[in-house]
């Protein structure tokens, strides 16, 4: 019983080995002609069993391998056994024209070479037309607003997707590189377009390209990956339904219930001839833009100010062709005279779309505060930028401004130090007037200093005499009674009011009457808060109840006062003859 199956298995193994020796590999391409962006199926067949995989490296030159599936079968007919392994590859051509699927090696065997014809993306080469054959349903076009930008200048790329059939799981990607930074600008827009009498749905997307070095740069064009209905599948469950065929033109559920096939559309590569920063561009910051404006407002706008009062300078910088992050911090470039300090606020940055370009704005408030009185001249503010339209350096300027600062409300006088005659140095009003009249300023008299010193000594003597007389009048053993203790209610009345507030569950009344009770109990040294009362009582029980009462009074919430009323039956007995801790700081809410 065991010999026959073993012989049968051995014969099968010998038969498989004999077939493996004579194994052959074949390749089949379906279809052999496709449009740009359409995938093809490459079917590789291996006669006999094998555990190895073919070498797909030669395919990467002209194709992308989007997916693969592997299957094997074993058949025994009239005692004859046949086995084979099949690999189904989904290939996406990288370019148009006549492509060759190269021979592939599998288990020492070589597949035959195959030829594939891919129609070109004529629409990408000629944006105003579609392929003459009229067979291309999806294509991309790209437009650059400039092809010879300056380094780090923004280049606007407009990508338009045209399609006349539904797309499923579609994604449009533009990969950045080390030489070109890519940033999407705004949101996609959608409209309808007609090309050579054919209607398309057009989706437009804008990108910003920032070349990081000069010279000739090449960037791969945008790529569309999507799924489309496979009309070659023949498994449309609604294909014979006249309603769906005539009203919608195609099965509206094709992406969910019908067969789909992958679609990849590549736009042509992008080439930029980037110009370097010119030698004549000598500004502090490199700002290649089409237009730059700089404006300011002051608050207060006019009139004198006092020492310590802030004056706010609002700066608005706007540049066409630059993003907001490329604009400089003007508070660093703003020169200030000695005696004025700047306190810049957080800048507000915004990047938007204007026509086919980008516009960046920077708004910033800068507070200016004078440390002494005088006249301050704020020099003009200059900002250099490079005009990419006219290829020359330009400047935007803000005029000089003079601030008159008066002494503060406390009588702060103007600085007596002789100011410099250089621009931007504050001039005291007295000396400024003396120079205008041509007369030297009179020397300042020291009389007021001696007068101030005498008044100070007289005030100190009066204070010392008053303190000595008060000491003589007060008895040596007298101890002052706080005013709060004199006006405090009786201990019994306060205790009764406290218990009534507790049973009424009124936390604020309970807190107030409890402190009244404590003041009546210790009139000469009352606790200043509930925490001080808990420390004085020293019992572990009432402390958490007092903390809960304090929390509810200021945080809100329900409160039950019976437990606290029962715990504080008497204060005098609990506190009598008990050593009190050293006086601490008053509570947060005394």
Q: Is the pLDDT of residue 332 over 90?
A: no
Pairing mode of beta strands 381-387, 288-289? parallel
- pLDDT on residue 470: 63
34 to 6, 262, 263, 305, 472: CA distances (angstroms): 52, 13, 11, 79, 117
Q: Are 357 and 154 in contact (CB under 8 A)?
A: yes
DSSP summary character for residue 176 = -
Question: Residue 211's beta-bridge partner residues?
Answer: 180
DSSP state string for 74-88: EEEETTEEEEEEEEE
DSSP summary character for residue 347 = P
Q: Residue 449 — pLDDT band, cuts 50, 70, 90? A: low
- pLDDT on residue 231: 67
What ranges in 52-195 are assigned the alpha helix state H? Answer: 122-125
Q: Is the pLDDT of residue 18 over 60?
A: no
Question: Residue 375's beta-bridge partner residues?
Answer: 404, 427
pLDDT exceeding 90 applies to what percent of the chain?
A: 22
Q: Is the pLDDT of residue 271 over 90?
A: yes
Q: Is the pLDDT of residue 130 over 60?
A: no
- Count of CB atoms situated within 10 Å of the CB of 197: 7
Residue 431 to residue 414: CA distance in whole angstroms: 10
The model's pLDDT over 539-560, given as tens digits with 9 standing for 90+, comes to: 656 788 888 887 777 666 788 8
Residue 440 to residue 445: CA distance in whole angstroms: 15
Question: Residue 405's beta-bridge partner residues?
Answer: 305, 374
Helix (H/G/I), strand (E/B), else coil: 257? helix
| Tokens read off for 224 | 């569309």
Helix (H/G/I), strand (E/B), else coil: 479? coil
The model's pLDDT over 137-190, given as tens digits with 9 standing for 90+, comes to: 888 999 998 889 999 999 999 999 999 889 998 999 998 888 999 988 888 999
Mean pLDDT for all residues in the chain: 76
Angle between helices 530-537 and 542-555 (to 10 degrees): 180
The model's pLDDT over 377-418, given as tens digits with 9 standing for 90+, comes to: 999 999 999 999 888 999 999 999 999 899 875 544 444 333
Helix (H/G/I), strand (E/B), else coil: 473? helix
- Provide, for the chain, the percentages of residues in helix, strand and coil under a 3-state DSSP scheme, each rounded to the nearest 5: 25, 35, 40
| Tokens read off for 33 | 């002609």
Q: Residue 570 — pLDDT band, cuts 50, 70, 90? A: confident
Question: Residue 25's beta-bridge partner residues?
Answer: 46
């Amino acid at each position: 019983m065991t010999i026959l199956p073993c012989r049968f298995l051995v014969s099968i193994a010998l038969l498989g080995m004999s077939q493996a020796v004579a194994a052959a590999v074949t390749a089949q391409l379906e279809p052999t002609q496709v449009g740009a962006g359409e995938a093809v199926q490459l079917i590789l067949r291996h006669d006999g069993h094998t555990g190895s995989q073919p070498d797909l490296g030669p395919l990467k030159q002209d194709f992308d391998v989007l997916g693969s599936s592997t299957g094997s079968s074993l058949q025994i007919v009239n005692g004859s056994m046949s086995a084979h392994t099949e690999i189904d590859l989904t290939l996406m051509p990288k370019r148009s024209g006549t492509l060759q699927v190269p021979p592939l090696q599998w288990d020492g065997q070589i597949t035959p070479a195959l030829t594939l014809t891919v129609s070109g993306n004529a629409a990408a080469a000629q944006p105003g037309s579609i392929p003459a054959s009229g067979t291309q349903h999806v294509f991309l076009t790209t437009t650059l607003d400039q092809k010879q930008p300056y380094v780090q200048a923004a280049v606007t790329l407009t990508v338009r997707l045209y399609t006349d059939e539904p797309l499923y799981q579609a994604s449009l990607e533009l990969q950045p590189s080390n030489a070109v930074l890519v940033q999407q600008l705004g949101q996609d827009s959608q409209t309808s377009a007609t090309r050579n009498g054919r209607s398309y749905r057009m989706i437009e997307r804008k990108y910003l390209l920032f070349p990081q070095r000069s010279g000739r740069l090449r960037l791969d064009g945008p790529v569309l990956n999507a799924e489309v209905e496979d009309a070659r599948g023949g498994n449309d469950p609604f294909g014979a339904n006249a309603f769906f065929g005539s009203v919608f033109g195609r099965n509206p559920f094709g992406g969910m219930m019908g067969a789909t096939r992958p679609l990849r559309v590549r736009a042509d590569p992008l080439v930029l001839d980037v110009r370097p920063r010119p030698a004549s561009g000598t500004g502090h910051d490199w700002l290649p833009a089409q237009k730059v404006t700089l404006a300011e407002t002051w608050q207060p706008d006019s009139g004198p100010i006092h020492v310590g009062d802030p004056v706010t300078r609002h700066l608005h910088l706007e540049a066409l062709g630059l993003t907001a992050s490329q604009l400089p911090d003007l508070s660093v470039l703003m020169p200030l005279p000695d005696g004025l300090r700047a306190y810049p606020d957080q800048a507000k940055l915004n990047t938007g779309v204007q026509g086919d370009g980008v516009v960046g704005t920077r708004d910033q408030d800068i507070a200016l505060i004078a440390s002494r009185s005088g006249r301050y001249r704020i020099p003009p503010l200059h900002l250099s930028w490079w005009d990419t339209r006219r290829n020359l350096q330009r400047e935007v300027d803000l005029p000089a401004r003079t601030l008159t600062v008066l002494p503060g409300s406390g009588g702060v006088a103007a600085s007596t130090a002789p100011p410099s005659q250089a621009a931007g140095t504050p001039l005291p009003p007295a000396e400024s007037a003396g120079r205008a009249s041509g007369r030297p300023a009179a020397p300042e008299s020291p009389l007021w200093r001696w007068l101030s010193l005498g008044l100070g000594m007289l005030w100190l003597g009066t204070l010392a005499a008053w303190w000595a007389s008060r000491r003589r009048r007060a008895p040596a053993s007298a101890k002052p009674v706080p005013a709060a203790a004199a006006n405090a209610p009786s201990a019994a009345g306060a205790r009764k009011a406290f218990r009534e507030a507790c049973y009424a569950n009124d936390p604020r009344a309970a807190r107030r009457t409890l402190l009244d009770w404590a003041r009546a109990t210790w009139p000469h040294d009352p606790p200043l808060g509930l925490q001080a009362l808990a420390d004085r009582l020293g019992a572990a029980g009432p402390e958490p109840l007092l903390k809960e009462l304090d929390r509810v009074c200021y945080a809100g919430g329900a409160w039950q006062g019976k437990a606290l009323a029962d715990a504080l039956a008497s204060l005098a007995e609990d506190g009598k003859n008990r050593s009190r801790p050293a006086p601490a700081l008053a509570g947060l809410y005394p």
